[in-house]
């Protein structure tokens, strides 16, 4: 097995940009179904305006150049070609930190977060709390090769990440994750307990289930009711859809940029708990950069493997090998999280908004990551 680390730059071919524009120009638009607002899905008028912006105003080359400002690399691990960012801090004593993105996101999720971690001095933070940042693309996402065969798990990804950190020469490091990353990050501590100093999760630990109801207080039951009413709990069941027939839906996402855009918009809308329109929570160009990355790499289907390789949905459980911190405890319940974790950091007043908090609140997230790892460095 080759352990070579090769520099990488994004360079989407002009013919692929032309193809995207031609497909957008030839969209066959449906009629709007009866119903208020988003009750039937993404409204036609909303998506037409967004698609027009993608076609005529969004500048992929500008955002491609911005992404290429990050040092990027490829390496082979476990027979898989893995793409990753490796941004070293200029600060002495910086702690290595690996960030794992979620679905349907990519390394683009951390575009606005990375500099706040590597260069806290420039963002109002303590330079003694700087990080060397590693951001791998999960297999099947973006420029990382899709998994070969079935049976892939968060544990297997964690083992690959541990090897990546070893290959980069890091003996002691932290790990962070949200969404799918919230499953991978704890598994890294289990895989490499002598190397991981702390696990930081965006949210999801200690989330109550029906079996917890008998032992819950009145306030906890109220929080559980509120959790079950959230859009992201009651929208399109992507877990079931991608577990049952991902190949079927991939044809539309792979062939039609508007079908792909509608799917992404639906999920990012459901993941938005701020009460504000999506474009006021996540920068429109940042959102479209993520959509464009999926489109150009053809990974709408290959990124579905965490779902079609699963047997059902379950909240991340965590681990006890190393201390754990979270960005937001609620709607999780700390005493439930402590059944499977050594909780060291459980704030209840961090600003929320979108499920992908790194895109919504990069300043607050960076500050909280620094606050947690200051306790375990």
Confidence bin at 226 (pLDDT 50/70/90) = confident
Confidence bin at 91 (pLDDT 50/70/90) = very high
Report the Cα 342 to chain-centroid distance in Å: 24
Contact present, 281 and 354 (Cβ < 8 Å): yes
Give the side-chain half-sphere CA count within 13 A for 202.
30
Contact present, 232 and 268 (Cβ < 8 Å): no
Contact present, 140 and 58 (Cβ < 8 Å): no
User: Above 80 in pLDDT, residue 85?
Assistant: yes
Confidence bin at 215 (pLDDT 50/70/90) = confident
At residue 300, what are phi and psi to the nearest 5 degrees?
A: -65, -35
User: Above 90 in pLDDT, residue 334?
Assistant: yes
175-189 pLDDT, tens digit per residue, is: 999 999 999 999 999
Alpha-carbon distances of 17 from 6, 24, 323, 350, rounded to whole Å? 26, 11, 46, 40
Report the Cα 93 to chain-centroid distance in Å: 27
> Where do the domains of the chain lie, and which CATH numbers do they carry?
5-9+69-373 (3.40.50.1820)
Distance CA 299, CA 68 (A): 20
At residue 184, what are phi and psi to the nearest 5 degrees?
A: -75, -45
**Dihedral of alpha carbons 183, 184, 185, 188, sign:** positive
107-165 pLDDT, tens digit per residue, is: 999 999 999 999 999 999 999 999 999 999 999 999 999 998 888 999 999 999 999 99
Distance CA 219, CA 19 (A): 54
Q: Is 163 exposed, middle or buried (0-12, 13-18, 19+ CB in 10 A)?
A: middle
Confidence bin at 45 (pLDDT 50/70/90) = very high
Structure tokens at 269: 């809308």
At residue 71, what are phi and psi to the nearest 5 degrees?
A: -65, 125
Distance CA 87, CA 72 (A): 8
> Is 174 in a helix, a strand, or coil?
strand
Residues in Cβ contact with 343 at an 8 Å cutoff, skipping those fewer than 6 apart: 205, 323, 324, 325, 326, 334, 337
Q: What is the pLDDT of residue 210?
A: 80
Which of 73-77, 92-96, 196-200, 234-238 shows the lowest per-residue confidence on average (mean pLDDT)?
A: 234-238
Structure tokens at 340: 């499977």
Distance CA 326, CA 314 (A): 18
Q: What is the pLDDT of residue 261?
A: 98
Give the side-chain half-sphere CA count within 13 A for 364.
16
What does 46-87 look like in DSSP terms, one character per residue?
Answer: HHHHHHHHHHHT--HHHHHHHHTTS-EEEEEETTEEEEEEEE
- Which residues on neighbouring strands pair with residue 80, listed in sequence order? 77
Q: pTM of this prediction? A: 0.95
Q: What is the DSSP letter of 359?
A: H
More confident residue, 324 or 217: 324
Count the neighbouring beta carbons within 10 Å of the beta carbon of residue 157: 27
What average pLDDT does this structure show over 193-213? 92
User: Above 70 in pLDDT, residue 1?
Assistant: no
């Amino acid at each position: 097995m080759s352990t070579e680390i090769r520099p990488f730059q994004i360079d989407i071919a002009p013919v692929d940009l032309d193809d995207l524009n031609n497909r957008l120009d030839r969209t066959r638009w449906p009629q709007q179904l009866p119903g208020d607002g988003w009750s039937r899905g993404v409204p036609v008028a909303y998506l037409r305006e967004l698609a027009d912006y993608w076609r005529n105003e969004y500048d992929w080359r500008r955002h491609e150049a911005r992404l290429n400002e990050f040092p990027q690399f490829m390496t082979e691990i476990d027979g898989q070609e893995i793409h990753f960012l490796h941004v070293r801090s200029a600060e002495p004593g910086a702690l290595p930190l690996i960030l794992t993105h979620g679905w349907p996101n990519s390394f683009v999720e951390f575009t606005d977060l990375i500099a706040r971690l590597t260069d806290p001095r420039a963002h109002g933070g303590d330079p003694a709390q700087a990080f060397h940042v590693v951001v791998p693309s999960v297999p099947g996402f973006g420029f990382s090769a899709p998994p070969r065969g079935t049976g892939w798990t968060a544990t297997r990804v964690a083992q690959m990440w541990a090897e990546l950190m070893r290959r980069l020469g890091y003996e002691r490091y932290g790990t962070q994750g949200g969404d799918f990353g919230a499953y991978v990050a704890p598994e890294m501590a289990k895989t490499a307990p002598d190397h991981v100093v702390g696990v930081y999760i965006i949210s999801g630990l200690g989330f109550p289930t029906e079996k917890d109801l008998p032992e819950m207080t009145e306030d906890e039951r109220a929080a559980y009711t509120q959790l079950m009413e959230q859009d992201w709990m009651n929208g399109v069941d992507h877990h079931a859809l991608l577990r049952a027939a991902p190949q079927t839906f991939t044809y539309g996402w792979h062939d039609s940029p508007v079908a792909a855009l509608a799917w992404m918009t639906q999920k990012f809308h459901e993941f938005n708990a701020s009460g504000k329109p999506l474009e006021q929570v996540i920068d429109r160009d940042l959102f479209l950069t993520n959509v464009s990355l999926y489109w150009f790499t053809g990974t709408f289907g290959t990124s579905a493997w965490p779902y079609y390789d699963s047997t059902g949905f379950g909240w991340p459980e965590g681990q006890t090998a190393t201390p754990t911190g979270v960005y937001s405890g609620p709607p999780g319940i700390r005493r439930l999280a402590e059944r499977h974790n050594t909780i060291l950091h459980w704030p209840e007043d961090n600003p929320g908004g979108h499920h992908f908090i790194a895109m919504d609140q990069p300043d607050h997230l960076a500050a909280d990551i620094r606050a947690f790892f200051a306790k375990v460095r």
